[in-house]
Amino acid sequence: MKVSRKRPRTPDGQVPNTPYKVETCNKPVTLHTDTCHDDPAMALALDALHTPPDIPVEKHRPYRPTGFSPACKDHKWSREIYQNSRRWRVEWASLVERLEIERTDVLTDAYLLVEKAWRKSYRDGDGVGELKTQVARRIVRVMRWVLQDRLWHLCCGKDVYRDERGKQATIGMCHEDATELVMRLLEQVHLWNGPNSFFYTRYGWLKFTPFLLAAERQNFPLVRYLYLHWPNAKTIDSTSQAGNNAYALCKDWLENVWGHPPSMIDDSQLLQFLANTGMSTRDKVNEYEAYKVNRKLAATDAACVDRVALV
């Protein structure tokens, strides 16, 4: 087991202020219909618990392994794996439709309510009786997966959900608010942080960590939070499938997306911060071109293994 090396804390004067603690959800564990009218999270939690699956549970097909990390170690991302991993959206179409019309902060509060009540019902034998069923455990899982799908956009500074007409709605967020939501998802909901974070999304082939994505999209507070509170393997030592580190992604975004001249790029506080961590300052490699090369190499290796097996 590899232990990340310790590093000194970055002086506060070098980067913008970032919140370090997020208050946990202190809502009562027992859910009551009398109070849900004043609390959107409570109302959402109760609606979720009373929404049956659109396809009977006994007909659900396995689409994700029990443990997430083994899946990412044993499988390469492919469109087939991605499409198979989305079956739960059909099996729970009504619940997904209800969850996706809520903002992420409300959805997070509702998830914590349902998850706490579910655990309490097994530990103490009280709470909401329906939470003891197999369906309720799956409801908790579906709520978690909906939050997992939103992590990418939150790292990009956007809260993406659907309005009552089913159309996609996007709310632009300041870096501090986006950082707070990502912190809640990582620390309270315990979403995966690392190259696995977006494996079951259409961005899984990139193998981005939240740190890499935050650096590319210029979210300095989120970069700082992740750097100070997570191991180096998930931050400054992480690279994409093409081998790009945070510095390369950040610089390429400034040059080719925002079109900044060299003088503005040199003055970027985030770029200077990343360089001061000691990471390589190499240029970015094209992600898609590298992905095609890696796929060809993998196919060649598989063919060689098959030929050796036949000998």
248-275 residue pLDDT tens: 999 999 999 999 999 999 999 999 999 9
Predicted local distance difference test score (pLDDT) of residue 118: 78
Task: Kindly state whether residue 149 falls inside one of the protein's structural domains.
Answer: yes
Asked if residue 226 lies in contact with residue 210, where contact means CB atoms within 8 angstroms, the answer is: yes
Question: What is the spatial distance between Cα 62 and Cα 234, in angstroms, rounded to a whole number?
Answer: 29
Alpha carbon distances (Å) from 311 to 61, 175, 207, 272:
37, 58, 36, 55
CA 198 to chain centre: 6
Task: Kindly state whether residue 6 falls inside one of the protein's structural domains.
Answer: no
Name the least confident of 63-72, 103-112, 127-136: 63-72
**Number of neighbours of residue 157 by Cβ within 10 angstroms:** 19
Average pLDDT, the chain: 81
Name the least confident of 115-119, 204-208, 303-307: 303-307
- Number of structural domains in the chain: 1
Name the least confident of 181-185, 187-191, 232-236, 292-296: 292-296
What is the mean predicted confidence (pLDDT) over 32-42? 68
Question: What is the spatial distance between Cα 25 and Cα 143, in angstroms, rounded to a whole number?
Answer: 16
Task: Kindly state whether residue 269 falls inside one of the protein's structural domains.
Answer: yes
Question: What is the spatial distance between Cα 245 and Cα 251, in angstroms, rounded to a whole number?
Answer: 10
Task: Kindly state whether residue 4 falls inside one of the protein's structural domains.
Answer: no
Task: Kindly state whether residue 52 falls inside one of the protein's structural domains.
Answer: yes
In the predicted structure, residue 80 carries a pLDDT above the cut 70: yes
pLDDT in tens, 208-253: 999 999 999 999 999 999 999 999 999 999 999 999 999 999 999 9
pLDDT band (50, 70, 90) for residue 73: low
66: containing domain? 12-310
Structure tokens at 194: 């690392």
What is the mean predicted confidence (pLDDT) over 47-61? 87
Task: Kindly state whether residue 1 falls inside one of the protein's structural domains.
Answer: no
Predicted local distance difference test score (pLDDT) of residue 18: 34
Question: What is the spatial distance between Cα 198 and Cα 150, in angstroms, rounded to a whole number?
Answer: 10
Single out the residue of 167, 120, 143, 126 nearest to residue 46, CA to CA: 143
Predicted local distance difference test score (pLDDT) of residue 310: 46
Task: Kindly state whether residue 3 falls inside one of the protein's structural domains.
Answer: no
Question: What is the spatial distance between Cα 175 and Cα 197, in angstroms, rounded to a whole number?
Answer: 20
Question: What is the spatial distance between Cα 178 and Cα 155, in angstroms, rounded to a whole number?
Answer: 7
Task: Kindly state whether residue 2 falls inside one of the protein's structural domains.
Answer: no
Predicted local distance difference test score (pLDDT) of residue 11: 41
